Amino acid sequence: MRSIVLTKGVPDFSEGAVSFDEDGHLERGKTPTVMNPNDKFAVEAALQTKVRHGGHVSGISMGPPGYADVLKEAMEAVYTDDSYLLSDRELAASDTWATAITLSAGLEKYQEEVGDVDIVFAGFKSADGETGQTGPQTAWALDWPIVTHVIALDIDPDERILRAKRLVEGDVDEIETVEAPLPCFVVTDPEFEPTYRKASHRLTRKRLRAETEERAADHDEHLTTWSQVDLNLDPDYIGLDGSPTIVSSVDPIPKAPSEREATMVDPGDEDAMSEVLEEMQPFAAEAGD
């Protein structure tokens, strides 16, 4: 099996890591970049596939040179064999459509120069844009079948069929089982959970982890960067010029509260301590369960 994991770098939105200017706008240059949280479920799906069926897994991302760190993070998490970064000034300011065009060109070049791809894994949506469009648009550009909201999957390599359980329109109460021919796209849902029931699978995962630690320590040796020229992309169809999306307005991300209210209780005040005990008892019961 040969798989691809699409990853994206997003601002680290954890408390204390996000920097805003005086108007409440995100300052990307002062905010650390991390792997998109939803991509980690795609990473887990690719790892499960590699553990169960063997093969080769590559990570691909489109972005500035600093996204190499995101690909390294993917290598450490999914045990990818190599990384590919699509990076060029001509690609800057791409919307989801221009990004999908670029990624599809990268995947086509990969198939021509590296090997035929069986599955492309993508996350549900990014933490910054939250459109959920890039994966489906890339699949459309390649004319590949796509299965979205995947929460479990397995593959029949002989029949070249992927079988998956997916949430119906993201509804956790309704699950359907579907099949898709390979090659195909898989968009994982945040409810995805990998399974390693066999001891051989768990041993394989342990072995792959040890091999990857050595590879990730020398990540630059396993990184290939492709420019707009390498991808043979028309500048009119990528970057800002190739992005038809018009953003009418942007709501600033609310700042985390700088202070929290606290009620001081004198340990010697029996009535006040009784109230505290009464409030805490339900939580203590849950912890005991």
Which pLDDT tens digit goes with each residue over 149-183?
A: 999 999 999 999 999 999 987 666 789 999 999 99
User: What is the rounded distance in angstroms from the CA atom of residue 111 to the CA atom of residue 245?
Assistant: 29
Alpha-carbon distances of 26 from 11, 94, 207, rounded to whole Å: 9, 18, 41
Longest dimension (CA), the chain: 76
Within 8 A by CB and 6+ apart from 123, the residues are: 6, 7, 8, 36, 38, 39, 40, 41, 42, 135, 187, 188
Mean pLDDT over residues 24-50, rounded? 81
Q: What is the pLDDT of residue 282?
A: 72
Alpha-carbon distances of 113 from 120, 224, 245, rounded to whole Å: 17, 12, 32
Tokens at 22, concatenated = 């005086």
CATH domain 2-231 topology: Rossmann fold (3.40.50)
The least confident of 76-85, 160-169, 274-283 is 274-283
Sorted by where each begins, the domain ranges of the chain are 2-231
Tokens at 196, concatenated = 């390693």
148 neighbors 136 (Cβ within 8 angstroms) = yes
Average pLDDT over the chain reads 86
Q: Give the count of alpha carbons within 13 A of 254, CB side only.
A: 3
Following DSSP, what letter does each residue of 101-161 receive, concatenated?
HHHHHHHHHHHHHT---SEEEE-S--TTT----HHHHHHHHHT--EEEEEEEEEEETTTTE
Helices (H), the chain: 39-53, 68-78, 96-113, 134-142, 199-217, 270-288
User: What is the rounded distance in angstroms from the CA atom of residue 234 to the CA atom of residue 211?
Assistant: 39
- Residue appearing with tokens 């505290």: 276
Three-state DSSP at 72 gives helix
Given a cut of 70, whether residue 253 has pLDDT beyond it is no
Q: What is the pLDDT of residue 169?
A: 73
Given a cut of 60, whether residue 134 has pLDDT beyond it is yes
User: What is the rounded distance in angstroms from the CA atom of residue 124 to the CA atom of residue 39?
Assistant: 7
In eight-state DSSP terms, residue 276 is H
Q: Which residue has the higher pLDDT, 200 or 265?
A: 200
- Ramachandran assignment for 137, one of left (phi > 0), alpha (psi -120 to 50 degrees), beta (any other): alpha
181 neighbors 143 (Cβ within 8 angstroms) = no
Given a cut of 60, whether residue 106 has pLDDT beyond it is yes
User: What is the rounded distance in angstroms from the CA atom of residue 262 to the CA atom of residue 29?
Assistant: 35
